[in-house]
Structure 1
């Protein structure tokens, strides 16, 4: 498969397409209504990037393993890697990325990263397995970076959109500092379990929601005509990000986070990393359920 190759899926009213490069979800429609934004290079050229083996930025753009420094781009190398197609059908596809000389330059571990996209009449499920093929414990993070259309409906202003949570809050959050996790902590104050969305929220940076107790949320118009529910049971953080001039809202379920400001340890010591035992799998899942008439 070339990086430009796209796999097209269909189930009932839903369609999706997934690119070989980055195993990235490029389109997701319900009854012809596109849920993902149309990329603009000047603002952000992604649609739903896969983040691995790190999330966010690492200090000096390197990770350290056993005293050696390895170059590591923000969000890891998965977004620019071409995945192989392991299996597909009308409503599903499985893509894989296996460790190679190209990945060992950045990350000296043997792994298999597998993503299964599966459509149903209700929505899209994404099942992830990170398999440690090596003989030592493997530190890893993972995230999805979907950019949903904002506004969801053209006749509803951005300020009339909400994020509704399944917990009453307040929710601990922080603002990134130069794309790193800063020391400050705030509380995201909810009104009737919802955050009122507005472009002004993202004038300076994104918002990292830390240690969510209920790992699901709903993005919707305030009149209830359109919405999207996300569930991410194994992932305890969410990054919210947009650009004030961009017609997108990124709602990013994450296992892990960027380096904390001042962190100087090895990758194994980085806060938020999962530690996958030799021969074991780390299994994660995200479901996206559209709520459109």
Structure 2
């Protein structure tokens, strides 16, 4: 059953499977901001990516000379989370390691997803607790899909992705799910227009941006949103072919490169967490 958070401005729905955010409705604007999960395009809404972001080379990694297999984006998005600390405007979801997770991820952990709404804002927190006796290694990220267009009478191409700072950054190309070479993309610019052609060869992957926020907006419309991505070193932007949505994805982690040696401890963006320690990152969503 969905968990519903509600205040004077927002009504938010989250499903315990994958602790997946599935609806953000703004009461004043009478506007749904999330993609509707239509399976003809993409049957997800906002999956949690853990303990890997993106795809592993040959879907395999090595840890202490043993091979393990994980599918793209890991297992958390398909698992049932427990709920606790539920109030009208906040909730905590928890997933603990078990026999099933240890088969292909040999670490003891608790993964907590926190959601909180205040006014027009939604806060999403990722907390990882190492409940084991050795260092654990993980990546984590968000994959929220937002409806485009956000207003009737607007077209997909009227919308743009806008950064808070002027950026010069290449786009890291994806080949069979793996990071390959870079190509010129942002050149002293703060925004780029959306188009279906942008995603013909998978997601736009950007690294180490200067911007603290990224927005989805339109010069010809009123509705949009801003995500605070500070502290997330990688950003993915993606849409399914000809689908009326765009994903803006803050990541702490990234897919394997084509040339990676598949050693988990040497994976780009991997986070190491000492036994008994915890790690917390949060992204914020402001609706307008």
TM-score bracket, shorter-length normalisation: over 0.9
Matches within 5 A, 1:1-293: 5-31=1-27, 32-189=30-187, 191=189, 193-291=190-288
CA distance in structure 1 between the partners assigned to 2:144 and 2:62 by the alignment? 29
**Shift in Å, 1:155:** 1.1
SS of 1:268's equivalent?
Answer: helix
Contact kept in structure 2, 1:215 and 1:235, CA below 8 Å: no
**Alpha carbons of 1:246 and 1:101: their partners in 2 closer, same or farther (altered >3 Å)?**
same
CA distance in structure 2 between the partners assigned to 1:212 and 1:96 by the alignment? 30
SS of 1:271's equivalent?
Answer: coil
**Shift in Å, 1:266:** 1.4
Contact kept in structure 1, 2:49 and 2:143, CA below 8 Å: yes
Contact kept in structure 2, 1:12 and 1:120, CA below 8 Å: no
Calculate the TM-score normalised by the size of structure 2: 0.96
Moved over 4 A (4+): none
CA distance in structure 2 between the partners assigned to 1:34 and 1:157 by the alignment? 16
Q: Deviations over 1:229-267 (max 9, x none)?
A: 000222111101012321110110000100110212311
SS of 1:52's equivalent?
Answer: coil
**Shift in Å, 1:122:** 2.3
SS of 1:51's equivalent?
Answer: coil
SS of 1:74's equivalent?
Answer: coil
What is the number of residues matched between the two proteins?
286
- Tell me the C-alpha RMSD between the 2 structures: 1.3
**Alpha carbons of 1:28 and 1:231: their partners in 2 closer, same or farther (altered >3 Å)?**
same
SS of 1:181's equivalent?
Answer: strand
CA distance in structure 2 between the partners assigned to 1:81 and 1:7 by the alignment? 16
**Shift in Å, 1:171:** 2.1
CA distance in structure 2 between the partners assigned to 1:188 and 1:98 by the alignment? 40
CA distance in structure 2 between the partners assigned to 1:209 and 1:120 by the alignment? 29
Gaps of 5+ in 1: none
Gaps of 5+ in 2: none
